[in-house]
């Protein structure tokens, strides 16, 4: 019997003799073996189109962290690197359990976030599928590395569970940190609820690893509101997983010393003060942003577009991303009840930004309301930077520091009646 057990463990963990994976080499009971067979070992690789769009789904009432876990379970992740921070910790703990069950090949708690993001940069260069997650101050600490991932052409998935970043220190939801991701070159998706967290996180791996993209993808949601609250999430069966990362089909060679020619310095220091260096750096940056643009096609295909539009012809349009979309939906419902003509554009992808979709979708609008969970109004700035006749934009409402957003605040903007 022990033969069977040993073998299972080896399959799940290629480095079975390693102290890092010792924990699961203990003897397990027959029941647990059955369980294991149902788990990772029994998963079948399926086509992403099938997993994302066609596979039959069942509904579960789960938290955002659990939704992320279900995505990772099906993502065929090679290495996940964790570091605790509220409200993210729960998710990477769940991923730890997936590792213990053999769904993830390697997993560890790193020294802190610069260490995490650097190790992700190393693992991605090795050609394996990588995952990490963080929140607020953790994102800020890791950001030197995160900013360098797109230029390194390093596919990986970063889950961001938004939390206050500025002093005074707090753990409450506030999505100001997303504004720090906008100029890195990587793809940035912003989910509304638990369902989005599942769908976006899973699709993120495939989007980032597409040859013409070869970029990291950040998937952000509002902390607590999404991560710790339950919602209905429909997922396909557990016995399917994505195909593994095909690192030789990407835009740059792997740093595995398997690629001729022998002299590879993909990260060559371009620091000479001469025109060729400037030109190299400039064209490299242009290519990163062009690659980001090329991710549109996959966001369209797998996530149904960069935006979702409700009541497209309405005179008053709300534009929102993340959790604010849910309050905006409620405002649209209440407005309809009151006979007001209000519509909504949900922005799913912040990078690439749905420039054309917004220009067209807002062309007819007389009034544009942009509710946000942050003080600075980064989404309003983004929208104003691409649409004509910006005087149509009504600032806010904005809540921050962890406050929730009563629908009344949006209704006041719609009616212009302030209580």
Among 66, 70, 90, 106, interactor with other proteins by CB under 8 A: 106
Widest distance between CA atoms in the chain: 73
**Torsion angles phi and psi, residue 407, rounded to 5:** -60, -30
> At closest approach, how far in Å is the CB of 152 from other proteins?
8
- Binding of other proteins by 250 (CB under 8 A): no
What SS3 string covers 173-223? Answer: CCCHHHHHHCCCCCEEEECCCHHHHHHHHHHHHHHHHCCCCCCCEEEEEEC
Cβ 219 vs Cβ 182: under 8 Å: no
Among 261, 339, 388, 416, interactor with other proteins by CB under 8 A: 261
> At closest approach, how far in Å is the CB of 101 from other proteins?
17
What the block records as the tokens of 214 is: 């070869």
- Binding of other proteins by 11 (CB under 8 A): no
Beta bridge partners of 222: 162
**Torsion angles phi and psi, residue 220, rounded to 5:** -105, 145
Identify which of residues 122 and 396 has a Cβ nearer to other proteins in the complex: 122
Among 2, 29, 265, 273, interactor with other proteins by CB under 8 A: 265
Identify which of residues 19 and 168 has a Cβ nearer to other proteins in the complex: 19
Among 36-44, 235-243, 258-266, 359-367, the segment contacting other proteins (CB under 8 A): 258-266
Among 96, 122, 305, 396, interactor with other proteins by CB under 8 A: 122
- Rounded to 10 degrees, the C-alpha dihedral 393/363/179/410 comes to 50
List of E strands, 290-406 = 307-310, 316-320, 342-347, 349-351, 367-369, 393-394
- Binding of other proteins by 288 (CB under 8 A): no
What the block records as the tokens of 56 is: 């039959």
In whole angstroms, what is the distance from residue 79 CA to residue 205 CA? Answer: 13
Among 120-128, 164-172, 334-342, 354-362, the segment contacting other proteins (CB under 8 A): 120-128
What the block records as the tokens of 201 is: 């996180």
Among 31-39, 75-83, 224-232, 294-302, the segment contacting other proteins (CB under 8 A): 75-83
Identify which of residues 56 and 269 has a Cβ nearer to other proteins in the complex: 269
**Residue list 145-184, contact with other proteins (CB under 8 A):** 145, 148, 152
Q: Half-sphere exposure of 390 toward its Cβ, with a 13 Å CA cutoff?
A: 9
Helix (H) or strand (E) holding 250: none
- Count of residues of this chain found to bind other proteins when the rule CB under 8 A is applied: 48
Among 7, 14, 50, 84, interactor with other proteins by CB under 8 A: 14
Identify which of residues 209 and 382 has a Cβ nearer to other proteins in the complex: 209
Identify which of residues 14 and 312 has a Cβ nearer to other proteins in the complex: 14
In whole angstroms, what is the distance from residue 206 CA to residue 48 CA? Answer: 8
Q: Footprint of other proteins on this chain (CB under 8 A)?
A: 14-15, 19-20, 78-79, 81, 105-106, 108, 110-112, 114-116, 118-128, 130, 144-145, 148, 152, 247, 255-269
């Amino acid at each position: 019997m022990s033969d069977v057990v040993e073998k299972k463990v080896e399959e799940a963990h290629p480095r079975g003799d390693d102290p890092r994976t010792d924990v699961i080499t203990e003897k397990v009971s027959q029941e647990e073996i059955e369980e294991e067979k149902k788990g990772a070992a029994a998963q079948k690789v399926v086509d992403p189109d099938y997993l994302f769009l066609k596979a039959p789904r069942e509904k579960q009432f789960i938290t955002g962290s659990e939704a992320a876990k279900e995505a990772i379970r099906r993502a065929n992740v090679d290495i996940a690197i964790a570091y605790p921070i509220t409200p993210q910790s729960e998710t990477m703990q769940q991923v730890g359990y997936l590792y213990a069950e053999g769904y993830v090949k390697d997993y560890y708690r790193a020294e802190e976030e610069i260490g995490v993001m650097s190790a992700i940069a190393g693992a991605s260069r090795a050609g394996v599928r990588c995952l990490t997650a963080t929140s607020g101050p953790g994102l800020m600490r890791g950001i030197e590395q995160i900013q360098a991932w797109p230029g390194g052409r390093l596919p990986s998935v970063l889950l961001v569970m938004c939390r206050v970043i500025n002093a005074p220190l707090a753990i409450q939801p506030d999505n100001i940190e997303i504004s720090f991701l906008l100029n890195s070159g990587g793809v940035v998706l912003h989910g509304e609820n638990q369902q989005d967290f599942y769908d976006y996180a899973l699709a993120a791996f495939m989007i980032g690893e597409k040859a013409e993209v070869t970029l990291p993808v950040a998937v952000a949601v509002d902390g607590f509101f999404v991560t710790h609250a339950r919602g209905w999430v429909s997922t396909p069966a557990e016995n399917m997983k994505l195909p593994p990362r095909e690192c030789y089909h990407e835009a740059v060679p792997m740093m595995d010393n398997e690629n001729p020619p022998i002299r590879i310095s993909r990260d060559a220091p371009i620091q000479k003060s001469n025109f060729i260096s400037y030109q190299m750096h400039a064209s490299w940056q242009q290519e990163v942003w062009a690659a980001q643009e090329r991710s549109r096609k996959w966001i369209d295909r797998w996530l149904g577009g960069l935006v979702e539009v409700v009541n497209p012809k309405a005179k008053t349009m709300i534009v929102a991303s993340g959790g604010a979309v849910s309050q905006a939906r409620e405002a649209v419902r209440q407005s309809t009840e009151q006979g007001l003509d209000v519509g909504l554009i949900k922005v799913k992808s912040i990078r690439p930004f749905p420039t054309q979709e917004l220009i067209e979708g807002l062309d007819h609008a007389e009034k544009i309301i942009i509710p946000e969970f942050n003080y600075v109004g980064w989404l309003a700035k983004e929208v104003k930077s691409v649409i004509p006749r910006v005087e149509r934009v009504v600032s806010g409402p904005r809540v921050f520091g962890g406050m929730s957003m009563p629908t009344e605040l949006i209704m006041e903007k719609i009616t212009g009646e302030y209580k």
